[in-house]
Amino acid sequence: MASIAEYYAGKNVLITGGTGFMGKVLVEKLLRSCPEVKALFLLVRPKAGQSMQQRVSDMMKCKLFDRVREDNPDFHQKIVAVSSELTQPGLAISPEDVERLNACVNIVFHCAATIRFDEPLKHALQLNVLATQQLLGLAHQMQHLEAFIHISTAYANCNRKYIDEVIYPPPVEPKKLIELLEWMDDGIVRDITPRLIGDRPNTYTYTKALAEYVVQQEQGKLNIGIVRPSIVGASWQEPFPGWIDNFNGPSGVFIAAGKGILRTMRANNDAVADLIPVDVVINLTLAAGWHTAVHRPKTSLVYNCTTGGINPFRWGEIEHHVMSSFKRNPLDQAFRRPNANITSNYLINQYWVLVSHKFPALLYDLFLRLTGQKPQMMRIFNRLHKAINLLEYFSRQDWEWNSENMNMLMNQLTPEDRKTFNFDVRQLNWPEYIENYCIGTKKYVLNEDMSDIPAARQHLRKLRNIRYTFNTLLVVFIWRVFIARSQMARNIWYFVVSLCFKFLSYFRASSTLTN
């Protein structure tokens, strides 16, 4: 039987979301580990004044592609950008491109989605559900299609505590919802969204659940696989450890904590933090593509791609390792020394938000105003609180996923493929991974130079000294106010001072005697 790389040799692959975080890693891995792949067709839209061609060529210049570039400097010739806006009818693909794709595509990876937690329902539905439906329609016309892999999320069914590798009945019939929202005014949709999404926390998880059902409904004769990653984090090993390029999920939280901005967050210390490295997800996705095409399972397989049941690590441990990593490798120009704590207690968290977030932000903004600058800290904290409020649902509880299909898939691979497309998370050393993750946020998200670390450490020492001085002044000030107002405070003060004085006199006398 063909190995994974042998299977992809000579194949034309269609990828949606190829410019996104996971899409880029998928493109890179395919080019590097399956060098005989024929062509990668990326559905891309123009964005922010850049043409799709420009976007794809910029993407290929990214450091992520350094290893591929070394192996094959002409790798860009295998990438074919196809103009497409997934929210438009027919995915806005030109008739010529449709014809070309129908004639040659062998395998589809559908990664595109809106992953925003605050996306208006109509838009999330359009992109996550309707675009999936339209892509499946296109896939049905492809004459040589062997597999269609849909990327979902392990949290599509986060309203359940135990999540099996099955497609659950949808919260609502997607077709009916689409018809309903079509004529509704955006304001009304916004008002009824909480009722519609019910016990799910956001429109993202809700529409991803509907998309899975659509995939099942529209499957027809296609060979389909669904991959459900949990919280996708920086790369573990490939193409190099710690690669990450965005603020999504925990990355933004780590950065905010490393910069000393985030000091408190609601999370359960003992809950499993189901992070999964992006390279693990991509290796499993490519293996799932191979398995779906070669073995053609009778029913579509769902792969829960998670770590919690196999190699669990908890939020409390993450907090500890993130903090110690940022103390060893500090970020540049930290606002305060990194010292974030998580707590599941609402009141304790509110207290620290007030004391450690709002109060310093107010003070700093006052300082900026007094020095003729524009205040900004309160605005930053408001945005941070908004992001954190949306994430806390996932950090305050845990879930149990069945990941039998992940094990089954691993057992189907040759020993060589198990190494090249490694998704065995039992080997993951969490402290080392978190260290590389934090360094990755510094190097690749914030574009900070590692050679500036001594200066960053020096800056932390300065912040520590400022803190000590500030605390001392504060204690002296409070005590001074007390003494001025309370006889009892004055008595205690005189008692302590005379005690110190007596002790000093005794010490001086005894040292004179011994001399």
Ligand X SMILES: CCCCCCCCCCCCCCCCCC(=O)SCCNC(=O)CCNC(=O)[C@H](O)C(C)(C)COP(=O)(O)OP(=O)(O)OC[C@H]1O[C@@H](n2cnc3c(N)ncnc32)[C@H](O)[C@@H]1OP(=O)(O)O
Q: Residues in the site for ligand X, rule: CB under 6 A?
A: 115-118, 153, 155, 231, 247-250, 252-254, 256-257, 265, 267, 315, 318-319, 322, 340, 342, 383-384, 386-387, 390-391, 394-395
Yes or no: say if 53 and 81 are a contact pair by the CB < 8 Å rule. yes
Q: Which is nearer to ligand X, 252 or 260 (CB)?
A: 252
Q: Which of residues 46-75 bind ligand NDP (CB under 6 A)?
A: 47
Which does residue 318 bind out of ligand X, ligand NDP, none, counting CB within 5 to 8 angstroms by kind?
ligand X
Binding of residue 7 to ligand NDP (CB under 6 A): no
Give the number of other Cβ atoms within 10 Å of residue 232's Cβ.
27
Q: Which of residues 389-418 bind ligand NDP (CB under 6 A)?
A: none
Binding of residue 313 to ligand NDP (CB under 6 A): no
Yes or no: say if 329 and 442 are a contact pair by the CB < 8 Å rule. yes
CB of 156 to ligand X, least distance (A): 8
E strand spans, 373-503: 400-401
Binding of residue 138 to ligand NDP (CB under 6 A): no
Per DSSP, the residues of 420-439 read: HT---GGG--HHHHHHHHHH
Which residue's beta carbon is nearest to the bound ligand NDP? 20
Partners of 37 in beta bridges? 9
Pairing of strands 107-110, 162-163: unpaired
Binding of residue 139 to ligand NDP (CB under 6 A): no
Binding of residue 23 to ligand NDP (CB under 6 A): yes
Which does residue 85 bind out of ligand X, ligand NDP, none, counting CB within 5 to 8 angstroms by kind?
ligand NDP
Q: In the block, which residue shows the tokens 């838009």?
A: 123
Write the single-letter amino acid at 350.
Answer: Q
Helix axes 203-217, 186-197, angle to 10 degrees: 80
Helix (H, G, I), strand (E, B), or coil: what is residue 113? coil
Q: Which of residues 164-183 bind ligand NDP (CB under 6 A)?
A: none
Q: Which is nearer to ligand NDP, 208 or 259 (CB)?
A: 208
Spatial distance between the Cα atoms of 118 and 389, rounded to a whole number of angstroms: 11
Which does residue 47 bind out of ligand X, ligand NDP, none, counting CB within 5 to 8 angstroms by kind?
ligand NDP
Write the single-letter amino acid at 226.
Answer: I
Tell which one of 153, 329, 403, 436 touches ligand NDP (CB under 6 A): 153
CB of 104 to ligand X, least distance (A): 31
Burial of 25 (0-12, 13-18, 19+ CB in 10 A): buried
Q: Which is nearer to ligand NDP, 19 or 356 (CB)?
A: 19
Tell which one of 249, 252, 258, 260 touches ligand NDP (CB under 6 A): 249
Rounded to the nearest 5 degrees, what angle is found at the Cα of 43, between the Cα atoms of 41 and 48?
135
Assign 3-class secondary structure to 292-358: HHHHCCCCCEEEEECCCCCCCCEHHHHHHHHHHHHHHCCCCCCCCCCCCEEECCHHHHHHHHHHHHH
Yes or no: say if 215 and 300 are a contact pair by the CB < 8 Å rule. yes
Task: Read off the DSSP letter of residue 272.
Answer: B
Half-sphere exposure of 148 (CA within 13 A, CB side): 25
Question: What is the pattern of x (binds ligand NDP, CB under 6 A) and - over residues 197-236?
Answer: -----------x--------------------x-xx----
CB of 81 to ligand NDP, least distance (A): 11
Structure tokens at 457: 């450490």
Which does residue 111 bind out of ligand NDP, ligand X, none, counting CB within 5 to 8 angstroms by kind?
ligand NDP
Spatial distance between the Cα atoms of 29 and 71, rounded to a whole number of angstroms: 12
CB of 385 to ligand NDP, least distance (A): 21
Question: What is the pattern of x (binds ligand NDP, CB under 6 A) and - over residues 268-307?
Answer: ----------------------------------------
Q: Which is nearer to ligand NDP, 153 or 341 (CB)?
A: 153
Rounded to the nearest 5 degrees, what angle is found at the Cα of 426, between the Cα atoms of 420 and 431?
105
Q: Which is nearer to ligand X, 67 or 327 (CB)?
A: 327
C-alpha 151: how far from its chain's center? 15
Partners of 301 in beta bridges? 225
Tell which one of 72, 87, 311, 402 touches ligand NDP (CB under 6 A): 87
Q: Which is nearer to ligand NDP, 202 or 248 (CB)?
A: 248
Structure tokens at 6: 């042998």
Tell which one of 151, 197, 244, 331 touches ligand NDP (CB under 6 A): 151
Binding of residue 15 to ligand NDP (CB under 6 A): no
Which residue's beta carbon is nearest to the bound ligand X? 252
Q: Which is nearer to ligand X, 7 or 155 (CB)?
A: 155
Tell which one of 8, 11, 14, 20 touches ligand NDP (CB under 6 A): 20
Residues touching ligand NDP, count (CB under 6 A): 26
Binding of residue 113 to ligand NDP (CB under 6 A): yes
Yes or no: say if 357 and 256 are a contact pair by the CB < 8 Å rule. no
Helix (H, G, I), strand (E, B), or coil: what is residue 117? coil
Structure tokens at 349: 């968290």
Yes or no: say if 279 and 356 are a contact pair by the CB < 8 Å rule. no
Tell which one of 248, 349, 420, 441 touches ligand NDP (CB under 6 A): 248
Which does residue 322 bind out of ligand X, ligand NDP, none, counting CB within 5 to 8 angstroms by kind?
ligand X
Half-sphere exposure of 503 (CA within 13 A, CB side): 6
Which does residue 352 bind out of ligand NDP, ligand X, none, counting CB within 5 to 8 angstroms by kind?
none
Q: Which residues bind ligand NDP (CB under 6 A)?
A: 17, 19-23, 45, 47, 84-87, 111-115, 127, 151, 153, 208, 229, 231-232, 248-249
